[in-house]
């Protein structure tokens, strides 16, 4: 079966190219910043936990929509944008407050190291997703791929980023020598 490139699909155009769709992300961020700046209350552990749990609830809803339904909302463009934005917004706010257990868990050395790979991750991840999906589509039923692909793609992208960092360091060392 043929895999249609995303840039030919309407939902790709709507989510990635159409500027008003990207404005929604921006407005959500501005609203969260305004709420934080106007909040006179001191950040508390309870408030942070509340935002973390709300983000987890929205993540669960997004995963349910992605895994259990077959609609335009489960297309790749919507999946990575509109479905998970509410969860991300609540987690960003929880991280700004900085007092919940999820924030503490995600602030350890390993996750900070992975976070420092984010610029390389951003550049590499789409290629990894495309090649992994294409490769898996020849060996595994498409209905199974959506369960395997996220974990496999994350691991492969981290590996590719680590290899890239290693290569960059060695090239820099040779230039200095």
Provide the percentage of residues in the chain whose pLDDT is more than 70: 81
Q: What is the pLDDT of residue 159?
A: 94
pLDDT at 5 over 80: no
End-to-end Cα, the chain, rounded Å: 51
pTM: 0.60
Q: What is the pLDDT of residue 75?
A: 64
Instruction: Give pLDDT tens digits for 69-118.
Output: 666 555 666 666 667 788 888 888 888 888 888 888 888 888 888 888 88
Contacts of 43 (CB under 8 A, 6+ apart): 96, 97, 98, 99
């Amino acid at each position: 079966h043929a895999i249609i490139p995303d840039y030919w699909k309407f939902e790709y155009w709507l989510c990635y190219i159409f500027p008003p769709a990207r404005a929604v992300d921006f407005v959500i961020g501005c609203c969260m910043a305004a709420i934080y700046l106007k909040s006179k209350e001191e950040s508390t552990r309870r408030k942070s936990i509340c935002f973390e749990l709300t983000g987890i609830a929205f993540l669960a809803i997004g995963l349910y929509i992605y895994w259990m339904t077959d609609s335009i909302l489960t297309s790749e463009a919507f999946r990575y944008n509109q479905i998970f934005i509410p969860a991300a917004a609540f987690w960003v706010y929880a991280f700004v407050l900085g007092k919940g257990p999820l924030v503490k868990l995600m602030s350890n050395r390993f996750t900070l190291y992975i976070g420092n790979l984010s610029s390389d991750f951003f550049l590499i991840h789409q290629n990894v997703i495309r090649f992994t999906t294409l490769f898996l589509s020849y060996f595994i039923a498409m209905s199974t791929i959506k369960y395997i692909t996220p974990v496999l793609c994350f691991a492969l992208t981290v590996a590719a980023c680590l290899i890239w960092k290693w290569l960059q360091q060695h090239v820099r060392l040779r230039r200095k020598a």
